[in-house]
Structure 1
Amino acid sequence: MAAPPSTTRWTFLVTTLAAFMVSLDNLVVTTALPAIRTALDADLADLEWTVNAYTLTFGVLLLTGASLGERFGRRRILGLGIGIFTIASAMAALAPDVGTLIAARAVQGLGGAMILPLTLTMLSAAVRPERRGAALGIWGAVSGLGVAIGPLVGGAIVDGWAWQWIFWLNVPVGLILLPIALTRLAPARGIAQRLDLPGLGLITTGLFGIVWGLVRGNAVGWGSAEVLGSLAVGVALTVAFGIWEARTAHPMLPLRLFRNRGFAASNVAAMLFSFGMFGSIFLLAQFLQTVQGFGPFEAGLRMLPWTAMPMLVAPLAGPLSDRIGGRPLLVVGLLLQAAGLAWLAGTMSPDTSYASQWPAFVISGIGMALFFVPIANVVLGSVPTNDTGVASGTNNAIREVGGVFGVAVLAAVFSHQGGYASAQAYSDGTSVATWVGAGVVLAGAIAAAFVPGLRRPAAGPVAPEPASEPAAPEPVVREPEPAPV
């Protein structure tokens, strides 16, 4: 049963604004990285953790955040998530050093993981079925807008005030949303789910170990005990997580879903896409400032052809996806994204002008849009209806983890090939790293080709002609048998 109209309106307001706030923090920090590096005397590894501390905790804890809401009440956990996110934003704004900033970003990710999955669940439950599609469409558009304008908002705030204000911006929003969420939203809960705490511990520690080794490799040596030990322990714990999830009765990540070719292929493509995209944006946003000399706002504005293109292309790509299926759009989108990154990598130099780059940003943006439009339908359409919630959460988590590895690996390539010493060094490192990103996205296009094509309803057999009884004085017409569905 749908919620009363007043509750529905409040639910729509809280869930869309909360989703926007969380989505914005995915990329809002990218154009502020040069200012943070200068203000807090941060090195490349510090900047990586400033981004990855948020995306790693956010991605790993998404499924747990959804489970907490089902077990302890969606309204309660959503309110707790908003409170944690707000406090962590204030901590980040007040951070006196980069270590405190990284810790605050990790806590932000925890809050975001409790917010985002529940906003979708609560909005879906509050809206009448005939209006649900439109409401969820607006929710998705607002979330996408948060990602798209993140670099622009971050650049504008750094230019107009200071980098700390990209975090202060969340505080009044959180303070307004929290009391509304706790008093106006329905206190619904779903089916209580047992938390997979061993699985959570294994995957969190395992991914942290792998990322730590990748981030520290260039600084202390790839053959050092610290790096080799960190990578070995991380891989071992990640493998142990897979073994545990295959055997436990209540897994946080049901591995049986990956037996479906469409689900497995689309998630591999999603991870490789995020790897190339987030890793490249991490470096290219700084290239616009460090090498080309643009201010933070100017850099964010010049990235709009890439990050905001999905808002223009999605309305056209959506109906096309319904007609031809998701696979062609996924493959073409990833090919365009790879082509755009290859263009940028091939023209990267200290003398590169923005005029030679913006077509590549447009191509990448169109590719991003063609990927984003069908991916959710492809993932959800490949699993039974009762698994759609965990399938959606799994896909979001895999994309976030892909972004974490993208930033870590491409930054390691950048550091090995170049650095911040000069414009030439930065260009050299960014060029090689972006080539790697393009190759990874191209591999994602190959994975997407294994997604099953559109299945059209099969036509039923032709109904038999009405037969007549020859012995009867007047023929008795029999009704044709109905064609099977």
Structure 2
Amino acid sequence: MRSQPLRAIPTSAWRTLAIAATAVFLVSLDGTVLFVAFPSIRRTFPGVSPEELSWILNAYTIGFGALLVPAGRLADRFGRRAFFTAGLGVFTAASVLCGVAPGVGTLVAARALQSVGAALLMPASLALVLRAFPEERRGVAVGIWGAVGALAAAIGPVLGSAVVQFASWRWAFLLNLPLGAYTLAVSARRLEESRANEAGSLPDVLGAAVLIAAFSSLAYGIIGWRADPGRATSALAAGSVLLALFVWRSLRVETPALDLRLFARRSFAIANAMTLLFSIAFSAMFFGNVFFLTERWQLSIFEAGLWISPGPLTVIPVAIASGRLADRAGYRPLFVAGGLVFSLGGIWLLLRADATASFLVWLPGSLLMGISIGMVLPSLSGAAVSQLDPASLGAGSGVNQAVRQLGSVLGVAIVVLVLGGLAKSARFEHVFALLVVSGLLTAIGGLLLPPRSRAPHAA
């Protein structure tokens, strides 16, 4: 029996992909740029503690992680183009507010608003792309859509450090305005509206609010432990209670913000535990490395961005090769090998933490980390949903993305706690030791997965 020829991809589909990918590029670039911009922001507000400044990162990550799934469901119900354009408009406007923020409080609030825009935009962008492409050609579209995010993460350190070094950290936000405004104008004219055939029930917005409060309390407790252990203990206790309340509510409502029932599947639970652990390590690595290079080794922001860039640039080719390997051999070999390589990178940095600043000393650890991240991070989402039925793929992916964002919040919080005042004498060795342990635990988690877990195929 002869296979059906592939349908041609219409021009309108490529146009939709270009618009969606541009918006995804903006959102993805914003995260990595902020890591390298953080030291400069700190110098602008010298009277504000690192604990308070860390909320510039955490306010965004918490809001984005908690709102991602409800926003996707609302976009399916009320219109994906409407949510995409609304999200892009909110994100662009909030970027301007970040760029002109007179104080840290205003900047944190604007970052929280940015997270709302990003959460509205991201799931709607992928849904628009999938709707525009023929079913048998969607793999190409999803690959390009995902690669754009990886490209933004790769060039973010260099671009961000250059903007901060030769202009100001404020321009890292303000540069979103021209591209965001242009994409918004094109979106309104060129994108076609689409909705899900079956709208379903409204998502649990109250549950998402409880989750935001839980994440915020837990992060506050970790960050504030050194300054005020009593208040930090209260925050951790409150966060734990709120998290328990979220779990209780999610198991009882019809359409929870995150479908926690999926954790009954062993492979899903293990993969998400690995996602949490590796996301903590990834954020701690990125955030800690920026401060190690600028504080202990006294590099400029631009030099630090250049030194960091080989690792992220390694991620893309390794991720492509790892995806092909996962199709043949499953995810277990990637996680075991990737976790061990991550530990080796941590050991290299740990043993050379007191060395004199040298790019050749730094490069091997950076490359090892990049290789490991390329093997592990893109595969975690696939491993999480590999044993789920097709109807649960969207919900499972949403849970995994939320877990990843929680890990990012905790990684930043742990670095701030461990490094204290982020001075030249800060104990960066503790951060590098965390990377070693995280890599080993990731490898152990890989061994616990089913040996032939592979990428899922929709029905």
* TM tier, smaller: over 0.9
Deviations 1:115-168 (A, max 9, x none): 111211211111112321111111111111112222111101112211111101
Match of 2:447 in 1: 449
Q: Is the 1:269–1:445 contact (alpha carbons within 8 Å) kept by the matching residues of 2?
A: no
Q: Residues 181-202 of structure 1: CA distance to partner in whole angstroms, max 9, x if unpaired?
A: 2222111011323120231122
Q: Name the aligned partner's letter for residue 386 of structure 1.
A: A
Where does residue 400 of structure 2 map in the other structure? 395
Q: Which moved more, 1:293-302 or 1:311-320?
A: 311-320
Question: Which of 422, 436, 439 is residue 438 of structure 1 equivalent to?
Answer: 436
| 1:179, distance to aligned residue in structure 2 (A) | 2.1
The alignment's C-alpha RMSD in Å is: 1.9
**C-alpha contact 1:37 1:47 (8 A) present in aligned 2:** yes
Corresponding residue for residue 299 of structure 2: 294
The aligned counterpart of 2:4 is none
Tell me the equivalent position of 1:231: 236
Can you give the 5+ residue segments of structure 2 that lack an aligned partner in the other structure?
Answer: 1-6, 455-459
Deviations 1:180-236 (A, max 9, x none): 22222111011323120231122111111111111111122x2x1x22221111100
Match of 1:168 among 157, 174, 177: 174
Residue 139 (structure 2) aligns with: 133
Question: 1:252-267 alignment to 2 at 5 Å?
Answer: 252-267=257-272
2:226 alignment partner, SS class: helix
Match of 2:38 in 1: 33
Other-structure match for 2:186: 180
In 2 relative to 1, CA 112–3 (structure 1 residues): closer, same or farther, beyond 3 Å? Answer: farther
What is the CA-CA distance between 1:314 and the residue it aligns to? 2.3
Structure 2 residue matching 1:251: 3-state secondary structure: coil
1:279 is matched with: 284
Q: What is the CA–CA distance in structure 1 between the aligned matches of 2:274 and 2:203, rounded to whole Å? A: 28
- Aligned partner of 1:355: which letter? L
AA partner of residue 226 (structure 2):
N
Following superposition, the deviation at residue 293 of structure 1 comes to 2.3
Give, as a single letter, the amino acid of the residue that structure 2 aligns with 1:453: P
Match of 2:56 in 1: 50
Structure-2 change in CA distance of 1:61 and 1:342 (3 Å): farther
Per the alignment, do residues 351 and 235 of structure 1 end up closer, same or farther by CA in structure 2, a change over 3 Å counting?
same
Matched residue type, 1:146 = A
1:375-416 deviation digits (Å, cap 9, x = unpaired): 33322322111111121121111111101011102221221x
User: In the alignment, which residue of structure 1 is the partner of 2:81?
Assistant: 75
The 1:6/1:265 distance shift into structure 2, 3 A limit, reads same
Aligned AA (1:149): I
- The normalised TM-score by structure 2 is 0.93
Alignment CA distance shift 1:391-1:111 (3 Å): same
Q: Distance in 2 between matches of 1:442 and 1:107?
A: 37
Identity across matched positions, percent: 35
Counterpart amino acid of 2:122? L
1:211 to 207, 213, 219: 219
Select which of 9, 29, 45 maps to 1:24.
Answer: 29
- The CA deviation string for residues 78-124 of structure 1, in whole angstroms up to 9 with x for no partner, is 11100110011000100111221111111111111111112112111
Match of 2:3 in 1: none
Mapped to 1, the partners of 2:25 and 2:401 lie a distance apart of: 15
| SS of equivalent residue, structure 1 residue 348 | coil
Q: Tell me if 1:342 matches 2:347.
A: yes
Matches within 5 A, 1:367-378: 367-378=372-383
Q: Partner of 1:359 in structure 2? A: 364
- Structure number, greater radius of gyration: 1
CA distance, structure 2, for counterparts of residue 203 and residue 372 of structure 1: 24
Q: How many residues align?
A: 445
> Which residue of 303, 315, 320 maps to 2:308?
303
More displaced stretch, 69-78 vs 304-313: 304-313
Tell me the TM-score normalised to structure 1 length: 0.88
Q: Residue type matched to 1:199 in 2?
A: G
